[in-house]
């Protein structure tokens, strides 16, 4: 196996006295797709937010593509430019059109010429099938369209890794499919992905590995088929029996 | 109780009630109006108490009848919904209508019908109304202060130039638009300062030097407000960001600054700037009184601006910060492209509020001997030749200030509408 692109070793994190992450160890190799599931409050979101340092971890090391995350601001910005993230609440910039949302970071962070950035953005928007909405503002789009724009925006930075933080939880049931389709396409394109989600259908279709977290610990980590066919711990069995 | 059936509200009786109500209501209005405008009391034959309350009673009964049954008549529905929903509101409505009618004739006759505007001396004012002659004679002083009469064109020209330069940004070509912020924040104030300095102050290019003590009137109001407005906004922005900074040093300096300037009254700040401040300066260092005043007001209002802008920063959801960070933006890029454009849009009403307060605070510079519009009024009303016309002067100033402030708030509404986006 090649050198992992994300290396998480003995990571611990506290919010005040409350420990959210307990001794997390996780290696992700390039092009791997990992689904993280678990009850709310189990630390799944916190874990992936640590990977691009939207949250700081207090103990342990996280190495992303050879760069260690520490106080060094330059390293952090470098990692963030390589790691795309999609949020539960979309978090598009409401004062910019969809196209400007997508070109903002490439132009100002990657110093890409405006014309190239727009071409790239249109290509990415094409991929998620909302190129026709490019000049609208986020407030004018449906939730599903907004989330797909958010995926396109993250892809415009040409990241090596994509993090998804419950991308379908804030959507109407009808719109979940269009977003999941976009994610499946992305997965087929060979992107390294870590997805926090409750969509077990998506996990079965796409994931190489599934991780089950509870109370800040990784309870179970297994190949997808194995995970669903015969989960080892009782906690996982209970969770799966309720969610499936 | 059968005999009272006709008082019951129902469809059959509706028009009966409606016309009776309108009749009573109009009688009450006519009674008050005749009383106010023609000084004829048509109900004087009634006992004293009753004749005063008669319009109110009639109007009340009238509105009550109008309300008894909601109709399909649209205009009537509007009245019932807005001013006549219940007895209490009906009485309030009547009292307000009566107060307006009662107040109109005396104020009109004072301001227009009995007023004087001809002549050049106090003696020309013979009527019992306002003496606008006073405002007319002093008009140039109110506008330009003690500035020499034959040099007023310099002030006018300077203002025209500054305004023209302000509009300059609208005509820039598209590829230069990105420098617009730079132009308005840095270049424009400098140019405006130079224009005002060389044109109004003079002393170069063959223009006679006029010291700032002679400036005054409305033009000084404009100069002080203009510079304070354009300087206090960037200052407030920096302070607001500083107060939310992660670096303790910057944060505490900002908090200290804001709390200090918000804690002292403007009038003491102005005193300090003119009396205390020169003591701390080296002997040969001279700073003009007007400049000191502008700096003092700017520093003072900057603290208020900072808190208003901070309100906007805090109203933004955390997700916006997360999203900007996750795209690899650093602190400045995140704030310039994502956070500030949204936050500033949110605080337009609050900033407008602060700016209006600033414009109306400018008369306070009178305490350091600078006489802008209100200051000139205070000087003019003590002139022995023109004693006793303070009222006219202050009404004049009130109208001028109202026009300025209303224009500003209208502009802020436009900005709000222009930059409105859905979340």
In this model, does residue A53 exceed pLDDT 70?
yes
Q: DSSP letter for A3, please.
A: P
Give the mean pLDDT of B355-362: 90
Nearest Cα of chain A lies from the Cα of B330 at a distance, in angstroms, of: 7
A87–B319: do the CB atoms touch at under 8 Å? yes
Cα B208 from Cα B210, distance rounded (Å): 6
Identify all chain A residues contacting B319, using CB atoms and an 8 Å cutoff: 87, 89-91
Q: List pLDDT tens digits, range A146-202.
A: 999 999 999 999 999 999 999 888 888 888 988 998 899 999 888 899 999 888 888
B330–A52: do the CB atoms touch at under 8 Å? no
Which residue of B327, B421, B422 is in closest CB contact with A109?
Answer: B327
Q: What is the pLDDT of residue B422?
A: 61
Confidence band (pLDDT; 50, 70, 90) for B51? Answer: confident
Q: What is the pLDDT of residue A2?
A: 67
Which residue of B320, B325, B328 is in closest CB contact with A54?
Answer: B325
In this model, does residue B302 exceed pLDDT 50?
yes
Q: What is the pLDDT of residue B11?
A: 62
ipTM of the complex: 0.91
First to last CA, chain B: 62
pLDDT over 70 percentage in chain B? 91
Q: Which residue of A has its CA nearest to B418?
A: A95
Nearest Cα of chain B lies from the Cα of A92 at a distance, in angstroms, of: 7
Q: List pLDDT tens digits, range A55-82.
A: 888 888 898 888 888 877 788 888 888 8
B421–A93: do the CB atoms touch at under 8 Å? no
Q: Which residue of B has its CA nearest to A152?
A: B327
Lowest mean pLDDT across A155-159, A233-237, B43-47: B43-47
Q: Which residue of A has its CA nearest to B323?
A: A91
Determine the residue among A48, A97, A104 to mutate to test chain B binding: the one whose Cβ has the most chain B Cβ atoms within 10 Å: A104
Give the mean pLDDT of B224-236: 89
Contact B343, B316 (CB under 8 A): yes
More confident residue, B282 or A61: A61
Q: CA-CA distances (angstroms) from residue B377 to A29, B103, B363, B374, B389?
A: 80, 26, 10, 5, 10
Identify all chain A residues contacting B337, using CB atoms and an 8 Å cutoff: 104, 108
In this model, does residue B101 exceed pLDDT 70?
yes
In this model, does residue A6 exceed pLDDT 50?
yes
Q: What is the pLDDT of residue A151?
A: 92
Q: What is the pLDDT of residue A93?
A: 92
Q: Which residue of A has its CA nearest to B338?
A: A93
In this model, does residue B7 exceed pLDDT 70?
no
Lowest mean pLDDT across A141-145, B54-58, B72-76, B137-141: B72-76
Give the mean pLDDT of B125-142: 78
Q: Which residue of B has its CA nearest to A161?
A: B326
Q: What is the pLDDT of residue B13?
A: 66
Identify all chain B residues contacting A94, using CB atoms and an 8 Å cutoff: 342, 421-423
Q: Which CATH class is domain B133-147+210-422?
A: mainly alpha
Nearest Cα of chain A lies from the Cα of B347 at a distance, in angstroms, of: 15
Domain segments of chain B as ranges: 2-107, 133-147+210-422
Which residue of B324, B326, B422 is in closest CB contact with A137?
Answer: B422
Beta-carbon pairs below 8 A across chains A and B? 76
pTM: 0.82
Identify all chain A residues contacting B326, using CB atoms and an 8 Å cutoff: 52, 54, 80, 83-85, 87, 154
Confidence band (pLDDT; 50, 70, 90) for B284? Answer: confident
Identify all chain B residues contacting A73, using CB atoms and an 8 Å cutoff: 330
Q: List pLDDT tens digits, range B389-400.
A: 788 888 888 999
Give the mean pLDDT of B41-67: 77
Which residue of B319, B324, B345 is in closest CB contact with A89?
Answer: B319
Identify all chain B residues contacting A110, using CB atoms and an 8 Å cutoff: 328
Nearest Cα of chain A lies from the Cα of B356 at a distance, in angstroms, of: 27
- Sequence-separated (6 or more) residues with CB below 8 Å from residue B209: B201, B202, B203
In this model, does residue B310 exceed pLDDT 90?
yes
């Amino acid at each position: 196996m090649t050198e992992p692109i994300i290396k998480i070793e003995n990571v611990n994190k506290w919010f005040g006295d409350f420990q959210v992450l307990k001794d997390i160890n996780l290696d992700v190799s390039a092009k791997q797709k990992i689904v993280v599931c678990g009850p709310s409050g189990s630390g799944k979101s916190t874990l992936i937010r640590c990977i691009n340092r939207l949250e700081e971890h207090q103990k342990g090391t996280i190495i992303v593509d050879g760069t260690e995350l520490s106080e060094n601001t330059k390293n952090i910005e470098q990692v963030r430019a390589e790691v795309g993230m999609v949020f539960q609440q979309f978090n598009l910039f409401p004062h910019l059109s969809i196209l400007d949302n997508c070109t903002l970071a490439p132009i100002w962070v990657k110093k890409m010429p405006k014309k190239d950035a727009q071409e790239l953005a249109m290509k990415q928007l094409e991929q998620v099938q909302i190129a026709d909405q490019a000049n609208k503002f986020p407030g004018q789009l449906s939730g599903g369209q907004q989330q797909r724009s958010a995926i396109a925006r993250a892809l415009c930075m040409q990241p090596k890794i994509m993090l998804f933080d419950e991308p379908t939880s804030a959507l109407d049931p009808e719109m979940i499919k269009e977003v999941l389709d976009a994610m499946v396409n992305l997965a087929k394109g060979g992107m390294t992905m870590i997805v926090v989600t409750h969509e077990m259908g998506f996990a079965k279709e796409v994931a190489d590995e599934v991780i089950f977290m509870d109370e800040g610990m990784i309870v179970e980590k297994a190949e997808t088929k194995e995970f669903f066919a015969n989960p080892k711990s009782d906690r996982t069995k209970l969770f799966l029996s309720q969610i499936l | 109780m059968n005999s009272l059936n006709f008082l019951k509200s129902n469809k059959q009786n509706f028009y009966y009630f409606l016309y009776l109500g309108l009749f009573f209501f109009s009688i009450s209005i006519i009674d008050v109006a005749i009383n106010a405008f023609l000084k004829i009391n048509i109900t004087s034959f009634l006992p004293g108490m009753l004749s005063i309350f008669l319009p109110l009673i009639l109007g009340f009964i009238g509105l009550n009848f109008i309300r008894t049954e909601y109709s399909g008549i649209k205009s009537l529905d509007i009245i019932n919904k807005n001013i006549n929903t219940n007895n209490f509101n009906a009485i309030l409505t009547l009292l307000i209508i009566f107060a307006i009618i009662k107040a109109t004739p005396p104020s009109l006759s004072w301001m227009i019908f009995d007023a004087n505007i001809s002549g050049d001396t106090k003696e020309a004012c013979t009527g019992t109304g306002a003496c606008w002659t006073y405002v007319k004679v002093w008009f140039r002083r109110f506008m330009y202060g003690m500035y020499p009469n034959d040099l007023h064109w310099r002030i006018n020209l300077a203002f025209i130039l500054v305004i023209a330069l302000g509009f300059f940004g609208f005509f820039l070509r598209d590829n230069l638009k990105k420098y617009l912020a730079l132009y308005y924040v840095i270049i424009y104030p400098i140019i405006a300062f130079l224009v005002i300095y060389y044109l109004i102050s003079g002393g170069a290019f063959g223009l006679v030097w006029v010291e700032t003590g002679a400036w005054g009137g409305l033009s000084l109001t404009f100069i002080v407000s203009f510079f304070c407005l354009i300087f206090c906004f960037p200052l407030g922005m920096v302070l607001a960001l500083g107060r939310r900074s992660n670096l303790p040093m910057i944060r505490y300096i900002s908090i200290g600054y804001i709390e200090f300037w918000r804690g002292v009254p403007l009038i003491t700040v102005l005193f300090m700037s003119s009396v205390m401040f020169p003591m701390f300066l080296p002997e040969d260092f001279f700073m003009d009184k007007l400049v000191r005043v502008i700096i003092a007001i700017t520093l003072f209002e900057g603290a208020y601006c900072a808190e208003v802008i901070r309100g906007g920063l805090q109203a933004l959801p955390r997700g916006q910060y997360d999203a900007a960070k996750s795209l690899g933006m650093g602190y400045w890029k995140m704030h310039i492209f994502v956070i500030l454009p949204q936050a500033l849009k949110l605080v337009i009403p609050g900033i407008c509020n602060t700016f209006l307060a600033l414009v109306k605070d400018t008369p306070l510079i009178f305490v350091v001997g600078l006489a802008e519009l209100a200051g000139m009024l205070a000087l003019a009303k003590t002139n022995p030749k023109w004693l006793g016309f303070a009222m006219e002067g202050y009404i004049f100033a009130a109208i001028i200030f109202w026009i300025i402030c209303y224009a500003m708030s209208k502009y802020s509404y436009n900005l709000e509408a222009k930059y409105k986006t859905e979340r």
